[in-house]
Chain A
């Protein structure tokens, strides 16, 4: 036990504490000034806003994918089940160059979209796409086991009580998936907020328009403005801590709610 805490502190706590200590170089007003400056606010807004939107897409599409994978039999199902994890296993830099290549104006998907007047690469849409990509596995993988475990008898019971399929799905099945859905959503969201490698290639990196917060940290570093970089980092760190903390609480709550486990 003591060993765990020591080791955790060496690997995680000390580095993070260093980050917080560094921000103490700043007065509160300075810190506030940096965090609320237009550029920072916009970068945070872009990172959090687009991540939220991407996580929403992943919530919906992830649920559809899970449903198809768990409930239906179709050719190639096992293969599709396996490839869900690609965004997780594929290095972010590789994902970045690949997505950019794909969605650039000359790319396989970029060209037809450009015909329609939709520009993806180097716009906020590009960031959005990259964030969807990296978030896919999270909703699918958190919901999948729960849906698999779900007792079919509940559905039968609902049906025998006169519920139609629509009602069964939305009143009976979905509610019991909610903790898992929320967890997957939060994980996808947290991952997208911090994502750097796959996004910077495809983002236009225009200040206030398509500049994500992690990039702003890197920019501040290369301007020798460590305090600014750490201030933004602290805000993001606290946010991810809160998200993950909420997820873990959620899971414990879900466990106690379903004592059968």
Chain B
């Protein structure tokens, strides 16, 4: 009686993976891009099949940007990495897995889509949060992940720093401001998504520092009647980069597909997918089309204010760096 049922269940379970594509890519990405790449992969597979007649299957892996880079360094066979920040791909390149000049191989710093850091607040904005300095007001609880493990959190931190340096005029004051800001943080999740869940689902905190796309997604998932997005007048231009992992792609013979995959980002269709998923597109036409979807924010780049990722990483997030000092006091 039970046996045929079990056999049927087992058959169902183990027969599932019969379908196989001609080529298969592994894209190792960071946390909030799950929905983006679900969309993009489908579109690319269709376009690729139309053009070459071959089917392509793209496998995804998501996690904190740093952990993902670590996995690739330890041997996770990623054909492409699409991480939260250039520093993490630099770490992959430093181990000889890809060319150290990777960021020059694709247009626009190899960042086909961008984003910025905004505030997600509860309905009606009860604490009246409008700008960065409202975050350090008495009684405001700020949710942001741990910059040591989360790429998004590093953008959050740098955005706050950039604001403070501009407003108060010195690095010393900026350090004070950012230090004060982290005193308002009750939970440091390890990833951006973890923070969103903490804020949205568990009701902790008054404001979430989030990727713009992440804030929009939360609003879509949980309803506009629950959360509002507040865009500060000044924020950072976050450029999540993409790159081929040379060593892996060459070994697997997937370089051509991988290149086509990343280049697809720079097409109209690719840019549109980015915009639809609330990432700011690079293409000016698409940007114009979606102009209304994004708030007008004055954006500074990491090169402007911090002199690039390597320097920012060393000064702020390395062992004994400014972030560590903040948590020492």
Contacts and interface: CB of A to CB of B under 8 A. Distances in A.
B310 to A, nearest CB: 14
A121 B199 CA distance: 13
A18 to B, nearest CB: 14
Contacts of A205: 146, 187-190
A100 interface: yes
Interface of A is mostly: loop
Interface of B is mostly: loop
Given A100-B202, A104-B203, A205-B187, A219 B327 contact: no
Nearest to B319: A225
Nearest to B65: A222
A171 B328 CA distance: 49
Interface string B89-116: 0010000000000000000000000000
A57 to B, nearest CB: 24
B145 to A, nearest CB: 9
A206 B188 contact: yes
A15 B222 CA distance: 45
B149 A222 contact: yes
B70 interface: yes
Nearest to B67: A222
Interface residues of B, number: 25
A106 B190 CA distance: 22
Contact of B187 (A38, A206, A219): A206
A224 B149 contact: no
Contacts of B64: 222
Given A38-B328, A223-B148, A223-B149, A204 B187 contact: yes
Contacts of B185: 206
Contacts of A204: 186-188
A207 interface: yes
Interface of A: 38-39, 100, 104-106, 121-122, 200, 204-208, 211, 215, 218-219, 221-225
22 contacts: A39-B324, A104-B201, A105-B203, A121-B202, A122-B198, A122-B204, A204-B188, A205-B188, A205-B189, A205-B190, A207-B327, A211-B188, A218-B67, A219-B148, A219-B149, A221-B67, A221-B70, A222-B69, A222-B148, A223-B148, A224-B69, A225-B319
Given A205-B188, A222-B66, 16 more contacts: A100-B202, A104-B201, A104-B202, A104-B203, A104-B204, A106-B203, A122-B186, A205-B146, A206-B185, A206-B188, A211-B188, A215-B190, A219-B146, A223-B66, A223-B149, A224-B66
